[in-house]
């Protein structure tokens, strides 16, 4: 595995080493020893998986502290544009977003620490998406930010007419009106 740093502190792309031959492929999607050696001290406790069709946009979601979730996300099938927004007060990149295409070919994963809003848009006809989380889902602490907030100005790589949202995601607040309680850990 190889770590690729992004433009936002602590937000990391993980590129696995793939072994490909005429039978198919093999790669480690997670290795606790690798994480430990890099000081990435996560205890993942819940795995989630979603299946979505073209244009589905899920997000931007997060849970308030003390129920905040770090996530290790990847596309098992298809292509998604994955986005994380820094909500950590005291961060030089507070209110900034980073996006990357995760797909079944590159096998990249995005490690999203606690204190970020997260969402993804499906760019392929279908996508299966996997999340490892270091906290359990807590409905009472669940929050979000509307996908098309002008202040964030996220390029989702889709035309707005093609975006399909859940009813819940259609009524999320703007960034400046959202509730968040994260502080950058030094």
pLDDT exceeds 80 at position 146: yes
CA distance 62 to 71: 10
The reply to whether 180 belongs to the active site is no
Asked if the peptide bond before residue 28 counts as cis, ω within 30 degrees of 0, the response is: no
Q: 93-104, pLDDT tens digit by residue? A: 999 999 999 999
The reply to whether 61 belongs to the active site is yes
Output the CA torsion 150→153→157→163 (10° steps).
-20
Average pLDDT over residues 154-172: 97
Q: What is the pLDDT of residue 126?
A: 98
Q: Tell me if 70 sits within 8 A of 113, measured CB to CB.
A: yes
**Residue of 62, 131, 137, 164 marked catalytic:** 131
Side-chain half-sphere exposure of 4, counting CA atoms within 13 A = 9
Average pLDDT over residues 45-64: 97
Q: 65-94, pLDDT tens digit by residue? A: 999 999 999 999 999 999 999 999 999 999
Q: 41-50, pLDDT tens digit by residue? A: 999 999 999 9
**Residue of 61, 62, 164, 180 marked catalytic:** 61
Q: 15-32, pLDDT tens digit by residue? A: 998 898 999 989 888 989
Going by C-alpha positions, the residue among 62, 87, 85, 88 that lies closest to residue 141 is 62
Q: What is the pLDDT of residue 25?
A: 86
Q: What is the pLDDT of residue 184?
A: 86
Global model pTM greater than 0.85 = yes
């Amino acid at each position: 595995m190889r770590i690729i740093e992004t433009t936002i502190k602590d937000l990391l792309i993980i590129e696995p080493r793939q072994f490909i031959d005429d039978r198919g492929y093999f790669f480690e999607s997670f290795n606790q020893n690798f994480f430990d050696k890099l000081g990435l001290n996560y205890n993942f406790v819940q795995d989630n998986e979603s299946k979505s069709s073209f244009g589905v946009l899920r997000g931007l979601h997060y849970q308030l502290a003390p129920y905040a979730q770090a996530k290790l996300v990847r596309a098992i099938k298809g292509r998604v544009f994955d986005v994380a927004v820094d909500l950590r007060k005291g961060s030089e990149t507070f209110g900034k977003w980073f996006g990357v295409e995760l797909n079944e070919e590159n096998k990249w994963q995005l490690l999203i620490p606690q204190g970020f809003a997260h969402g993804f848009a499906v760019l392929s006809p279908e996508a299966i998406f996997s999340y490892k989380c270091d906290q359990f889902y807590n409905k009472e602490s669940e929050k979000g930010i509307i996908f098309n907030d002008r202040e964030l100005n996220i390029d989702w790589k889709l035309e707005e007419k093609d975006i399909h949202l859940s009813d819940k995601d259609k009524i999320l607040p703007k960034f400046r009106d959202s509730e968040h309680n994260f502080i950058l850990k030094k």
